[in-house]
């Protein structure tokens, strides 16, 4: 028995309807999620371009070292001066070469080389807190051959340790020395392991990530929390953010702007 044209068109039409509405029908009959999914955590901080302002008028040596300590503690950054086991002690000649730093303090002539003559004498001895500038035009991202470092849409220059092959091109590309290479296994030098964050392995490059893992959980960066108001963090493209208000009020400078990397860490001097 064949089918005539009318019958064929009827069946084709019905199948089309079913095909188009099949998924909707499932949703109607059995509501709720069918597949596993990845979702945003409730309360995550979202921004269009994260930026930080360092208020040098409020920052003294004690606060600066406190910020660095807080950062290095929650990210399991090793301190090669004090190994857990005295047997692992390093040759003093290599301790400085192996140093790993996410956040650290330098004097003005190191932080802003070549700009000393433009600034008043009194700021030359202040502890300028230095970190990854999360540039808008990051040279480290351009040179990374594996896309292990990349710029997120919210402006954070992120590291994917899983992809890093340790070629150190990014360290050569970064004009701020914000990146450190793991010349040796850092684990024996992490005194109090912070359980919520991984350590690193020998052979990868690491740096500040603006505490991306904390932002995703709705927390401010660790250094900002420890700074007693000397560090301000927020969304530069949000007009009401604290960063914007601070930038409106004060004159700020940025590091090595002539290089065109457009750094996103501002210093009130």
Partner 1 sequence: MADNNYKNEFGFFAERPKVEKKFYDRNKVIAGLVIFLALVTLPLWPNLGKTIPAPQRQLDTPVIQKMAEKDRQCLMPTEWMRANHMQMLVDWRDTVVRSQEQGAPSVREFVTPDGRRYLASLTNTCMDCHSNKVQFCDQCHNYAAVVPNCWGCHLETGKKLAEAK
Contact indicator for 133, 156 with CB cutoff of 8 Å: no
Nearer to partner 1, 11 or 34 (CB): 34
Question: What burial class does residue 119 get, using C-beta atoms within 10 Å of its C-beta: 0-12 exposed, 13-18 middle, 19+ buried?
Answer: middle
Nearer to partner 1, 64 or 148 (CB): 148
Among 89, 90, 161, 171, which residue interacts with partner 1 (rule: CB under 8 A)? 161
Residue in 105, 199, 205, 194 with CA at minimum distance from that of residue 157: 205
Among 6, 30, 122, 162, which residue interacts with partner 1 (rule: CB under 8 A)? 162
Cα 58 off chain centre by: 24
Cβ neighbours of residue 50 closer than 8 Å, sequence gap 6 or more: 134, 154, 155, 156, 210, 215, 233, 234, 235, 236, 264
Nearer to partner 1, 98 or 197 (CB): 197
- Alpha-carbon Rg for the chain, nearest whole angstrom, is 26
Nearer to partner 1, 33 or 96 (CB): 33
Among 50, 72, 131, 154, which residue interacts with partner 1 (rule: CB under 8 A)? 154
Number of residues that bind partner 1 (CB under 8 A): 37
**Contact call for residue 145 and partner 1 (CB under 8 A):** no
Write out the two tokens for 107: 């004097």
**Contact call for residue 35 and partner 1 (CB under 8 A):** yes
Among 34, 62, 94, 165, which residue interacts with partner 1 (rule: CB under 8 A)? 34
Taking residues 79 to 118 in sequence order and writing x for each that binds partner 1 by CB under 8 A, - otherwise, the string is ----------------------------------------
Render the burial of 140-151: b for 16+ CB within 10 Å, e for the rest: bbebbeeebbbb
Contact residues toward partner 1 (CB under 8 A) are 32-41, 44, 46, 150, 152-154, 156, 158, 160-162, 193-201, 212-217, 219
């Amino acid at each position: 028995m064949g089918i005539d044209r009318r019958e064929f068109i009827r069946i084709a039409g019905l199948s089309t309807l079913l095909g188009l509405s099949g998924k909707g029908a499932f949703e109607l009959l059995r509501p709720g999620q069918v597949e596993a999914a990845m979702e945003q955590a409730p309360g995550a901080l979202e921004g269009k371009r994260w930026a930080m302002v360092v208020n040098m008028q409020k920052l003294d040596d004690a606060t600066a070292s406190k910020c660095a300590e807080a950062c290095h503690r929650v990210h399991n950054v090793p301190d090669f001066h004090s190994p857990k086991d005295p047997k692992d002690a390093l040759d003093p000649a290599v301790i400085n070469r192996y140093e790993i730093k996410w956040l650290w303090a330098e004097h003005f002539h190191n932080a802003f080389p070549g700009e000393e003559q433009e600034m008043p004498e009194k700021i030359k001895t202040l502890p300028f807190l230095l970190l990854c500038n999360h540039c808008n035009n990051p040279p480290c991202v351009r040179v990374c051959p594996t896309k292990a470092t990349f710029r997120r849409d919210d402006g954070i220059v992120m590291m994917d340790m899983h992809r890093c092959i340790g070629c150190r091109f990014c360290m050569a590309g970064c004009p701020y020395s914000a990146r450190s290479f793991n010349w040796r296994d850092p684990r024996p030098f992490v005194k109090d392991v912070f359980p919520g964050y991984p350590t690193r392995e020998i052979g990868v490059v690491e740096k500040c990530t603006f505490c991306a893992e904390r932002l995703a959980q709705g927390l401010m960066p660790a250094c900002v929390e420890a700074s007693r108001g000397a560090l301000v963090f927020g969304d530069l493209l949000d007009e009401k953010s604290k960063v914007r208000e601070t930038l409106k009020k004060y004159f700020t400078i940025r590091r090595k702007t002539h290089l065109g990397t457009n750094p996103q860490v501002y210093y009130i001097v």
